[in-house]
Structure 1
Amino acid sequence: MDNKMIGAIGSTQLNSWNQVSNRGKAEAQITLFTVPKINDSQSIVTNIWEELAQTYNMQNATFDEVKEVATRLYKAGEITFKEVVTLTFDYEKATNYIKQHAPVYVSANFTMYETEADKSGRRDWIAEFGARAAKDRQYGNLVGYAAKTRILHILQQFEK
């Protein structure tokens, strides 16, 4: 900007512009240091992990319990949709579908699970997702490995 242009704007206009400009910066700086108040919904979100950990044992849970945990964490905004999908993919239904539609290619005792469930359908989901992650890594499925490892870290927050 040349000197003629500055003279045309005038010192009063420049001072007004500087005040407005600096006021915006000062407000932004104050906002950066404001601590938001925790309302009831934020308090609930903060306590969701503790509440779920007291209710569910991911080392001895049914698939329905895993689905309940995933749904509640997702509704609280604590996990992503992708994580819900990974947690709640029904390996039992997938196993049965494969057995039904490709019986020639799979044995009768085929399962997609990596670990055993007890007679009531309870399984150690931390061990299950750890084994799934290890299998993905072994086969070079790094995207699957990363997804399963993330789920493993989520489930480990429930260890007692």
Structure 2
Amino acid sequence: MKITPDSRYRFPKQNNPRSKTKSKRESEESAPTPENNGIATEKSIWRTLAAKYDIRHATADELREISTALYHAGQISLFNHAILTFDPAKSPMLNLDINLTPADRDGRRDWIAEYEARLKRDLKQNNLQAALQHHKIIEILKRLDKRTACLTQQFPIDCIF
């Protein structure tokens, strides 16, 4: 056997029937076609999530579900997914609430207002890197806002609120 410098990085291909089925299903759902050029699938995930959830009245668990769906659809980065899904209330190491806006008794809050408050705080503290990231999060959340979608005609959804 001849050993080359990169031979230690070659691993045999794993055959996992579960992952094969999942990736095939995902590729069928997200594969671009000549008719839609990949655009319909992108819009459909946003439309589906906007119809299912009210981002201005959602729990942290619902925000996590939204973020996970967007990440798996390739619509947001892993970093944005991490920011959206981090819940300090579930961390045993932290005993503080970093949220700046109040939640109702069911734990629902306006996540756009929450991240706008964080952006305002970041700018006040001259934390430009966090401000830029929170601005990106606000842009993501506004794409899910039914009110914004109805006003900008991003995609057709029921505009009754």
Q: TM (normalized to structure 1)?
A: 0.64
Letter in 1 for 2:42: V
Report the counterpart of residue 159 of structure 1 in structure 2.
145
Q: Which runs of 5+ in 1 are unaligned?
A: 1-35, 100-109
Higher helix share: 1
1:40 Cα deviation (Å)? 9.7
| Partner Cα separation in structure 1 for residue 88 and residue 119 of structure 2 | 15
Counterparts in 2 of 1:87 and 1:39: CA distance versus 1, 3 Å: same
CA contact (8 A) 1:48 1:73 kept: yes
Report the counterpart of residue 138 of structure 1 in structure 2.
124
Q: Percent identity?
A: 37
Q: Indicate yes or no: 2:89 matched with 1:92.
A: yes
Report the counterpart of residue 126 of structure 1 in structure 2.
112
Aligned residues: 114
| Partner Cα separation in structure 1 for residue 84 and residue 145 of structure 2 | 16
CA contact (8 A) 1:91 1:113 kept: no
| Partner Cα separation in structure 1 for residue 100 and residue 141 of structure 2 | 16
Letter in 1 for 2:87: D
Tell me the alpha carbon deviations over residues 35-70 of structure 1, each in whole angstroms, 9 at most, x when there is no partner. Answer: x61579764333100111000111000001100110
| Partner Cα separation in structure 2 for residue 40 and residue 60 of structure 1 | 33
| Partner Cα separation in structure 2 for residue 40 and residue 55 of structure 1 | 25
Report the counterpart of residue 44 of structure 1 in structure 2.
41
Q: Which runs of 5+ in 2 are unaligned?
A: 1-32, 147-161
